[in-house]
Amino acid sequence: MPTDDYFMAQALAEAEKAFAADEIPIGAVVVFENQIIGRGYNQTERLRDVTAHAEMLALTAAANYLGNKYLADCTLYVTIEPCVMCAGASYWAQVKAVVFGADEPKVGFRRHGALLHPRTKLRGGVLAEECAALMRRFFTLKRK
């Protein structure tokens, strides 16, 4: 049975796609019954859409796969702590769990209180160093 590390590695692979596209390298996958049913990576620049975050795209793909806007039996894996918008989307989708890699102290949702659905479980720190390293690499290149 796949582990949290496995699914986070899949989210990291999505983040690498964002990195290659010169987007902020955040990736996400949605898992249902140990199967990935939604994938996404940041595409805000390419799509010229401020809502085209990795989580939003992965949640939409998962809802389309299931044919249901509610994802109550799904887990969202994302490389970086979600922002307020993405936490809110997971609230409305009623995801079972949100698992993230690295903290996001500047714009992460946890700065703003309880934004997840009351039944949603939260776990952070999965492959945190790998997730943070990709972000550092991206912003180091941007600052050169």
**What does the alpha-carbon distance between residue 4 and residue 10 come to, in Å, rounded to a whole number?**
10
Catalytic residues: 55
86 assigned ligand-binding residue: yes
Please indicate if the annotation marks 74 as binding a ligand.
Answer: no
Tell me the two tokens of residue 51.
Answer: 């809502």
131 known member of a binding site: no
Dist. CA 94–CA 89, nearest whole Å: 8
- Give the dihedral of Cα atoms 68, 71, 3, 10; nearest 10 deg: 60
Which residues carry a binding-site annotation?
Answer: 53, 83, 86
Residues in binding site for Zn(2+): 53, 83, 86
